Structure 1
């Protein structure tokens, strides 16, 4: 599933941007938006294809929860330096 690989790569990019002392918050927010969109697309695909395994479904749910948490932290200002 190439979409999952892309999503995980975007997560890695996001964590690097946010983890840098001089990280670009605009870029971080853009990456987080891409992550949220990718999760929505994956959830749509999963809903359309019930034969996809429960492991992938569980991983997508965990990524969705993580993205929601990051979005909350971002909006709360946790990453302001």
Structure 2
């Protein structure tokens, strides 16, 4: 294939058009960026926002906010007991995570599986003790449901050998 003068001229013309387009767009982009940055700085003057909460942490955050703002006298005995049980289940989740992190040292996986079974039975007991939890307290019901889903998911992972 021979390169002709027409092809060279077309290539040079396209190249010069690209250069002029990029230099013109650079100035436009810079001014647009400056306007946006100044607008954001004006909006955020003196305010710092927290990172977004994801997943099941919404229910925990709402419970923590409710716990911090509502006096303990407003809670019924059933709600107080359920919150204590959820607190102990969350502590068990921390223990479970620590035992998984320790790996297979000194039967760490066996102990972790025992903790997982304890969590699962604790969730079932909580659901049996307060059958209408989802209607009475939707936030607590959602949290307990999420704890149950996490326990079942972890048990499936354990049984298929993900942690070996």
State which structure, 1 or 2, has the greater radius of gyration over its C-alpha atoms.
2
Counting only pairs closer than 5 Å after superposition, residues 1-81 of structure 1 correspond to structure 2 as 1-23=83-105, 24-47=108-131, 52-80=136-164
3-state SS of 1:47 partner: coil
Q: Summarize the Cα distance change of 1:22–1:58 in structure 2 as closer, same or farther, 3 Å threshold.
A: same
RMSD: 1.7
Larger RCO: 1 or 2 (CA < 8 Å, sep 6+): 1
Q: Summarize the Cα distance change of 1:50–1:57 in structure 2 as closer, same or farther, 3 Å threshold.
A: closer
Q: Summarize the Cα distance change of 1:51–1:12 in structure 2 as closer, same or farther, 3 Å threshold.
A: same
Shifted more, 53-62 versus 18-27: the winner is 18-27
Residue aligning to 2:12: none
So what's the TM-score if we normalise by structure 1? 0.88
So what's the TM-score if we normalise by structure 2? 0.45
Q: Summarize the Cα distance change of 1:18–1:50 in structure 2 as closer, same or farther, 3 Å threshold.
A: closer
Decide whether the 8 Å contact of 2:103 with 2:109 is kept in 1.
Answer: no
